[in-house]
Amino acid sequence: MENQQTSKFGRPLSELSQVDWANLEHAYGSAEDVPAQLEAIAAGDEEAYADAFGNLWHQWTTYSATPHAIPFLIGILETGQSELDILSLLSVIGSGHGDAQEAVLAALLKGLPVYLPYLHSQQPEILTSAARLCRDLILETKDAAALEAMQDALLAQPDPDLQAALLYFLGCAAPLISEVEAFARAQLEREDAPLLSLSAALALAHHLGKDAPSEVTEVILSALADEETEERGEALFLDPDNIFDEIAKAGKALGQAQAFAVAFRKQAEVTGDEHLLDYLDELEDWE
CA 137, CA 28: separation in Å to the nearest integer? 27
For residue 236, what pLDDT is reported? 76
The answer to whether the CB of 27 falls within 8 A of the CB of 58 is: yes
Separation CA 40–CA 49 (nearest Å): 8
pLDDT above 90: residue 237: no
Pure H helices in the chain: 34-42, 46-56, 66-78, 83-93, 101-109, 112-115, 124-141, 144-156, 160-173, 178-186, 194-208, 214-225, 228-235, 240-253, 257-271, 280-286
252 and 258 Cβ atoms separated by less than 8 Å: no
**Which domains are seen in the chain, by residue range?**
164-287 (1.25.40)
CA distance 186 to 180: 10
73: left (phi over 0), alpha (psi -120 to 50) or beta: alpha
**If residue 30 lies in a helix (H) or strand (E), which one and from where to where?**
strand 29-30
Distance in angstroms (rounded) separating the CA atoms of residues 226 and 204: 20
What is the model's pLDDT at position 5?
61
The angle formed by the CA atoms of residues 182, 187 and 188, to the nearest 5 degrees, is 105
Question: What's the CA gap between 212 and 227, in Å, rounded?
Answer: 25
Using one digit for the tens of pLDDT, what is the confidence trace for 240-261? 778 898 999 999 999 999 999 9
Query: What per-residue confidence (pLDDT) applies to 287?
Result: 47
Q: Tens digit of pLDDT for each residue in 66-85?
A: 999 999 999 999 999 889 99
Write down the pTM of the prediction: 0.90
Closest CA to 111 of 71, 66, 79, 63: 71
Bridge partner residues of 62 (DSSP): 57
Averaged confidence pLDDT in the chain? 92
Residue 7: pLDDT band by 50, 70, 90 thresholds?
confident
Query: Which of 245, 246, 240, 280 is closest to 264 using CA atoms?
Result: 280
> Residues 8-29: pLDDT tens digits?
899 999 999 999 999 999 999 9
DSSP string, 34-62: HHHHHHHHHTT-HHHHHHHHHHHEETTEE
Out of 2-6, 97-101, 211-215, 255-259, least confident range = 2-6
